[in-house]
Each structure stands twice: as structure tokens, then as C-alpha cells.
């Protein structure tokens, strides 16, 4: 069986998004990529399979063109979004797609999540961006692939670093998050849902709530992720 270690990691990631309440029913998926060989290979959840019954052998291995390399089940219907993001963002090693309640609410509203507090700033360097809606032509041509394309377009048009901004809201759809591994992507998806919930309640309590000053958000982000980070242990 190919990529046994990565299969275990991706299996755990899929179970975690269900356990953490980020993907009710089968509304979500996690993947990981192995870039060590001549040809990168992706391990992803099969489509529509319940998280509780998943086994490592159920996971599907594909190349970056979406061609199945190993597996008897159909891969996630979001495969083409995952593979496009892996091609566009070579720094990332895992991707999680969820329909978590509050992050999806911001996506459906077509609103970026403003950086209203230091909890947000600890993980995301600025707002959580929202994409433009897909056009009718993009949906008809290749809906899933173009979902990835609108994400990449948003990041490139704003000069965003996918390492510093490890997630996005797809307008009218739901969030995607990523990281250096599948486990890291789960963590970012969980944090994204948490800060989406905080932002929703903050705006509900004070519709005029402003983003925290840039010097505060910058300090919090850099103390955790900057070259002279002081958060955590060496």
C-alpha cells in the first residue's frame, strides 16, 4: 500500500474534523501531499464515506492531475480544488475543507473576517479573505477546479502569503484551510472556525467594532511566527 504513513495522517485529519464538529455528516475532507518523489502524490478522503468507518486503505492516492494512482473508491468531489492549491502553493503539505457553522456563515455573507482581536492575529496575518463568487462560465466549465482558481486569484491579487494566511472563505460556499501537514491544516481550520465565531459575536455586540491597530496585530503575529518569535519553547 502506497504512502502508509501519510494515509494514517490523513485518516486522522479526517476523523478530527468530524470529532471537532467542523464537518457535520460528510460535509468536509482532508488531504495531504507527498512531494518527496519524482512525482508528487496526494492522499485524500473518498467521496461520501462516513468518517467513522474510514480505514487507511479507503483513502485514495492521486497525482496532481487528479489521476488515481491507488484506490478503489472515488476520491472526494473537491479533489480538483485540492490539487490546484497544491500546485499553486508549494509551501503547503495538507488541506482541509469544512462547512463549519460560523466560518461558512461569513462565506455565505461574502464577507472577509476582520481582525478584531489578538486571538485572530496570533494565527492569521490580517483578515481572513473571501473570494469573488464564481461566474456562470466558471461553474459550467469546471466548478471544482475553478473554486481553487478563485482562491489563488484572491491571494495573488492581494499579494497574500498562504503560510501567513492559512485559510480562505469561498464566497457562497465554505472555508478551506491548509498548513505544512494535514494535522496543521486541521488546527488552522479549527482556529478559523473559532475566530469566525468570535468575530460574529463581536459584530453582533457592537456593529461598529473596528479592527485592532496594525501595530498590535503585527506584534501578536510576529511574536508567534516571526524570526524572533518568543511564543512557546525553543
Active site residue ranges: 122, 231
- CB under 8 Å to 10, separation ≥6 — which residues? 30, 31, 32, 43, 44, 45, 59, 94, 182
Q: How far is CA 116 from CA 12, 61, 73, 125, 233, in A?
A: 32, 40, 43, 12, 27
Task: Count Cα atoms within 13 angstroms, Cβ side, for 130.
Answer: 19
Provide the grid cell at 70: 491507488
List C-alpha distances in Å: 157 to 2, 81, 112, 150. 37, 18, 15, 10
Amino acid at each position: 500500500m502506497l504512502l502508509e504513513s501519510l494515509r494514517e495522517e490523513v485518516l486522522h485529519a479526517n476523523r478530527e474534523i468530524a470529532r471537532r464538529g467542523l464537518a457535520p455528516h460528510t460535509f468536509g475532507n482532508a488531504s495531504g501531499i507527498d512531494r518527496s518523489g519524482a512525482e508528487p502524490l496526494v492522499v485524500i478522503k473518498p467521496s461520501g464515506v462516513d468518517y467513522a468507518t474510514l480505514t487507511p486503505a479507503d483513502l485514495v492516492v492521486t497525482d496532481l492531475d487528479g489521476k488515481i494512482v491507488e484506490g478503489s473508491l472515488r476520491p472526494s468531489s473537491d479533489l480538483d480544488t485540492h490539487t490546484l492549491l497544491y500546485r499553486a502553493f508549494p509551501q503547503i503539505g495538507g488541506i482541509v475543507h469544512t462547512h463549519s457553522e460560523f466560518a461558512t456563515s461569513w462565506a455565505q455573507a461574502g464577507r472577509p473576517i476582520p481582525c478584531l482581536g489578538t486571538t485572530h492575529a496570533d494565527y492569521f496575518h490580517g483578515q481572513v479573505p473571501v473570494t469573488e463568487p464564481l461566474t456562470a462560465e466558471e461553474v459550467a466549465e469546471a466548478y471544482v477546479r475553478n473554486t481553487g482558481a478563485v482562491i489563488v486569484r484572491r491571494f495573488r491579487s492581494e499579494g497574500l502569503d498562504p503560510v501567513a494566511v492559512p485559510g480562505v472563505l469561498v464566497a457562497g460556499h465554505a472555508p478551506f484551510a491548509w498548513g505544512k501537514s494535514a494535522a496543521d491544516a486541521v488546527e488552522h481550520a479549527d482556529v478559523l472556525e473559532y475566530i469566525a465565531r468570535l468575530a460574529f459575536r463581536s459584530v453582533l455586540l457592537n456593529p461598529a467594532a473596528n479592527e485592532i491597530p496594525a501595530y498590535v496585530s503585527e506584534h501578536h503575529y510576529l511574536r508567534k511566527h516571526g524570526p524572533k518569535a518568543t511564543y512557546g519553547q525553543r
